[in-house]
């Protein structure tokens, strides 16, 4: 099948499919006319890629995991290398979530403090002729 049909069957646009191919996640043969031609297995492969991307995995992680993927959802075989890669990704996500939570808490504290101070407490805004600061 050509890239347009693969896109229709998977709901993924041609640009993304070409990106998956460039990342080594998807393989296409070239017809005599130079068009990409995908086998029937490409539909399953694209669905696997989409599910794994939805789990927050990078295309680099997915390239490593795909040989262990079974089925559309997919299920992954639990080989030690695969588990180590997924645990590493989970640790990175946990670290990002911790940093975001800290940033959120700090921003909430600034908002609370500013609300408690009230607008009358800000001398620079008492009608002085100030230039606006670009956002």
SS3 call for 69? strand
pLDDT above 90 for 119: no
Mean pLDDT, residues 90-119: 92
What count of other Cβ atoms lies within 10 Å of the Cβ of residue 22? 10
CA atoms within 13 A on the CB side of 118: 2
Q: Which CB contacts under 8 angstroms, 24+ apart, belong to 53-56?
A: 56/89, 56/93
Residue 102 has pLDDT above 60, yes or no: yes
Grade residue 15 by pLDDT with cuts at 50, 70 and 90: very high
Residue 35 has pLDDT above 70, yes or no: yes
Task: Read off the pLDDT band of 4 (50, 70, 90).
Answer: very high
Partners of residue 29 on adjacent β-strands: 37
């Amino acid at each position: 099948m050509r890239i347009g049909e693969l896109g229709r069957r998977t709901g993924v646009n041609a640009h993304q499919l070409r990106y998956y191919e460039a990342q080594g996640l998807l393989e296409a043969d070239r017809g005599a006319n130079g068009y990409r031609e995908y086998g029937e297995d490409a539909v399953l492969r694209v669905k696997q890629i989409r599910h794994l991307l939805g789990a927050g995995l990078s295309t680099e992680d997915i390239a490593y995991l795909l040989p262990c993927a079974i089925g559309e959802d997919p299920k992954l075989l639990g080989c030690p290398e695969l588990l180590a890669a997924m645990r590493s990704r989970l640790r990175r996500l946990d670290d990002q979530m911790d940093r975001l939570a800290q940033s959120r808490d700090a921003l909430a504290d600034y908002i609370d403090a500013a609300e408690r101070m009230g607008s009358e407490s800000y001398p620079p805004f008492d009608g002085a002729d100030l230039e606006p600061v670009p956002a």
